[in-house]
Structure 1
């Protein structure tokens, strides 16, 4: 299904080379102010970085209904974008020769000849545009409860940022960096890594670290609609995401309890933890600390380098070199999408838990 959420729902529609793509958000309280400047700013972070991204460029000016005089009416909010800069002919060969690492083959098995292969159809990264717009629209909603969300890129290929940053700094500083890195030096090294792969007809993956501050303790709906579970479901809907880890993540398996537990202390009248190995989640609920998780993006599967595939029509093994316009890395553009899906999930859980009215 192309729908997610409970108290707040998001329905995604369209495909990469359809005339339009968009989403429907239902459940936003009436009278909520919509900040279109914030939507524009977040959409700009999804655009390709100069020199390393795809040459497909769209104006991405959203058309929004369900909003009158700058506020929601209580009816569903519909956000749409037109698709104009498309080259559908670049994809015709992929109907019979699926790209390794892409959704082409399972999609053909599921939908048959009806599958829209153009630009990857519904499985394209283009579909994250309305997701980003939806997340941007809802930032002020969770902001009214004191919640803020930000992210930065910690890894591109072999380049790893091992520095520790204050979450409050991340919420602002990485937004001004074209690769979503936390410094110009790290950005330069990451850019070189991407351009080297691109020059070889290849691609690289990356890791995005996301923070959410101000979550009220107890946010989340155990047993099955947990805070980390719902965020994971939303984030795994993003094309290219292959893994997610909260706090120490897999590294927790190598620790002892004494090193992994987060000790409690009073800070005035508030209960705080001295560390955050749990990533701000315990028992599927917000612990009161900063939500901290990392998301791994795989290398872009569409690459110019020759790969082995099959011809589904003549039933023979063939080689494939993917033509067209493709990013050599999607992690940097994916950071704002991770934020958007996190904002949406937190808004939905906050409404379900009575933290927003």
Structure 2
């Protein structure tokens, strides 16, 4: 299967299926000398793993990471890093009724038409469980970025019609938030909305926002490999993402030029800085030194228990009720996936940027 590798210098290849032996990734291009242990990766996996609240799938996976290669005596060796998580709670029989039908809202039909074969147990390679590997690779990327003073944090901005209020947002609330919302009042409203969805055997979508701080200006490329283009590639590669925005996103089309331009001014401490951040920290495909703000829009979970009309392999339409354990909303668990794909993209661009100037080469080799 082509398309399972992402990145140029920091290259990530993911492998595994939802109901296979496990999920893993291989990272090529991580610099040697990075202090790295399984606990550095595990804290990210713990944010993604299932079964943490009544609003996530009841599939009980510990998602304990194992570092198989690339680390010696607590430091990266500069060689490929292999990371692995075992699948331990597969209920493959729950999917037996899907063998001969294509589920609405899923990749079943396209996968079968492309390969002439599909793993119908939980979606196989198209399952959201594949993102476990992305989180492992992103955790390592985030550790490298933290050594460079770059920090990232993703959170749920909205679920269904419920949107966090900027005036009430408190990032300190996230560790205790089952929905990964930094607005306690909005979270209560979202819980009520989800309870209603679940009572109707339905699901909800939402928006994940990620903010990146400490990124210097000039990271990215000015033509095809623009930072926003590659971030779009990274986030659109996450299953269920249907739109991506940078900064004000689609709202900029209703602004006048003088309103959209992030003009400069003198701050109270005497430093020169931008007065606004409509661009979301990216201009001309490169970071502008401000906070990078990116949002991923997720569709509702397509696996729902209510009856739907599905296409069968026999070419007929069949009534289908999907069994199994599924998230009524995926954005709480998807937040860390967005954060990790953002980290992978930015680290790759920072590594590529080291060759942009002769002075940088001389700093390394002379």
Shift of 1:37: 2.5
Aligned equivalent of 1:264: 264
1:152 aligned counterpart, secondary structure:
strand
Whole-angstrom CA distance in 1 between matches of 2:221 and 2:99: 42
Aligned equivalent of 2:335: 335
Contact 2:71 2:77 in 1 (8 A): yes
Unaligned runs of 5+ in 2: none
Whole-angstrom CA distance in 2 between matches of 1:316 and 1:303: 21
After superposing on structure 2, the runs of 4+ consecutive aligned residues of structure 1 that deviate more than 4 Å are 266-271
Contact 1:35 1:137 in 2 (8 A): no
Contact 2:49 2:63 in 1 (8 A): no
Shift of 1:323: 0.9
What is the TM-score normalised by the length of structure 1? 0.94
Contact 1:272 1:288 in 2 (8 A): no
Output the aligned Cα RMSD.
1.8
2:143 is the alignment partner of 1:125: no
Contact 1:132 1:336 in 2 (8 A): yes
Aligned equivalent of 2:250: 250
Whole-angstrom CA distance in 2 between matches of 1:150 and 1:105: 35
Contact 1:45 1:175 in 2 (8 A): no
Shift of 1:164: 4.5
Aligned equivalent of 1:154: 157
Shift of 1:251: 0.8
Contact 2:56 2:329 in 1 (8 A): yes
Whole-angstrom CA distance in 2 between matches of 1:116 and 1:164: 46
CA deviation string 1:30-88 (max 9, x = no partner): 11111432322211111244112111111111111211111111110000111110011
Shift of 1:239: 1.3
Match of 1:136 among 134, 139, 154: 139
Match of 2:33 among 26, 31, 34: 31
CA 53–346 in structure 1, closer or farther in 2 if over 3 Å, else same: same
Aligned equivalent of 1:239: 239
Whole-angstrom CA distance in 1 between matches of 2:180 and 2:157: 9
Shift of 1:310: 1.6
Contact 2:264 2:272 in 1 (8 A): yes
Shift of 1:94: 2.0
Whole-angstrom CA distance in 2 between matches of 1:307 and 1:242: 21
Whole-angstrom CA distance in 2 between matches of 1:220 and 1:119: 37
Aligned equivalent of 1:221: 221
Shift of 1:237: 1.4
Whole-angstrom CA distance in 2 between matches of 1:35 and 1:216: 27
Shift of 1:93: 2.6
Whole-angstrom CA distance in 1 between matches of 2:141 and 2:295: 22
Whole-angstrom CA distance in 2 between matches of 1:271 and 1:145: 23
What is the TM-score normalised by the length of structure 2? 0.92
Whole-angstrom CA distance in 1 between matches of 2:88 and 2:353: 41
Unaligned runs of 5+ in 1: none
> Relative to structure 2, which stretch is displaced further, 115-124 or 265-274?
265-274
Contact 1:42 1:136 in 2 (8 A): yes
2:166 is the alignment partner of 1:163: yes
2:123 aligned counterpart, secondary structure:
helix
Match of 2:116 among 112, 119, 140: 112
Aligned equivalent of 1:89: 93
